[in-house]
Amino acid sequence: MNVPGLLIGGQEKKEKLDNIDLSYEKGTKDFLIYNDSDIIKKLSSFKNIESYAIVPDVSSYVRDMTKHGMVGMGIRKIKSLGLFNLLRISLSAITKIRKILKQDFKVLLPILVKVDYLELKKLKPNHVFLHYQMTDLALANDNKELISKFLSLNLGSAKLGLMTQNLSLLEEKLEKWGLNAASILAPFNYNGFAMRNSKEECEKMVKTKNKNYFSFTFTSNANLANELNYLQNIGLKRNFILIKD
């Protein structure tokens, strides 16, 4: 049985870092991460791993904005980038400042993604997935342009993909819009939780569509064996699991 990848998130800092160490010792080589300086530093010390990133890190933006305000959040992000990366972002963004101030998210999203990527770049992520809150919001609002903007970004050698909690609707919209997302990260699990519109329909997509499907899920130690057998049997490209007891 293959060792699953680790989904990192939803834990306190020490627990998160301890979980990374333990998983690596047990043979985990694939890590699904958000932009987090502690995680990046930890994984940078490991050899022969593959990282997969979710951008933008919506939860950190909301958390920092709640704690420090919009201006405070911006200052913290600027400090974390460094002068060289700041100049790269600023030169591309300065001509779009009016739209940014008007909160045109089609303009803002690529900038947020690039900010995250510049910090994640040292891990050379294999795939970069658009956060499901962004993807599913675009689906709900029939916003083809937002998805198209993301899929057209140039993030070095990283392959771009979409994260979703509504796989059927995503596939329906991509076909309608004539857009191609070769990699999709979605919930796949033994109990069928959040596999919309149905567990059977999502499994059929993995078998019939010419795409790389990746899974993210949460499970307990007691259910881990069932989960691993299920994920292996349906033929997913990679599986990322966070064990929560």
Dist. CA 35–CA 210, nearest whole Å? 29
Q: Coil, strand, or helix at residue 183?
A: strand
Domains of the chain listed by start with CATH number = 5-59+125-243 (3.20.20.120)
Residue ranges in 141-219 assigned as alpha helix (H): 144-151, 167-177, 199-208
209-221 residues labelled b (16+ CB within 10 A) or e (exposed):
eebbbbbbbbbee
In this prediction the pTM is 0.84
Q: Coil, strand, or helix at residue 170?
A: helix
Position 238, amino acid: R
Helix 144-151 crosses helix 132-140 at what angle (to 10 degrees)? Answer: 140
**What pLDDT, in 10s, does the model give residues 61-96?**
555 555 655 445 555 555 555 544 544 545 454 444
Q: Coil, strand, or helix at residue 106?
A: helix
Tokens of 173: 């919209």
Dist. CA 87–CA 133, nearest whole Å? 29
**What pLDDT, in 10s, does the model give residues 8-41?**
987 788 999 999 999 999 999 999 999 888 999 9
Q: Coil, strand, or helix at residue 143?
A: coil
Dist. CA 39–CA 202, nearest whole Å? 31
Dist. CA 121–CA 53, nearest whole Å? 10
- pLDDT at residue 118 in the model: 85
Dist. CA 132–CA 32, nearest whole Å? 14
Residue ranges, the chain, pLDDT below 70: 1, 58-105
- pLDDT at residue 139 in the model: 93
Dist. CA 153–CA 111, nearest whole Å? 10
**Which parts of the chain are beta strand (E)?**
5-7, 30-33, 50-55, 127-130, 159-163, 183-186, 212-219, 238-243
- pLDDT at residue 153 in the model: 94
Residue of 33, 6, 183 lying closest to 120 (CA atoms):
33
Q: Coil, strand, or helix at residue 139?
A: helix
- pLDDT at residue 68 in the model: 53
Dist. CA 190–CA 172, nearest whole Å? 24
- pLDDT at residue 66 in the model: 55
Residue of 188, 193, 173 lying closest to 237 (CA atoms):
188
Placement of tokens 């609002």 in the chain? 141
Instruction: Write the CA distances from 38 to 33, 189, 190, integer angstroms.
Output: 11, 29, 31
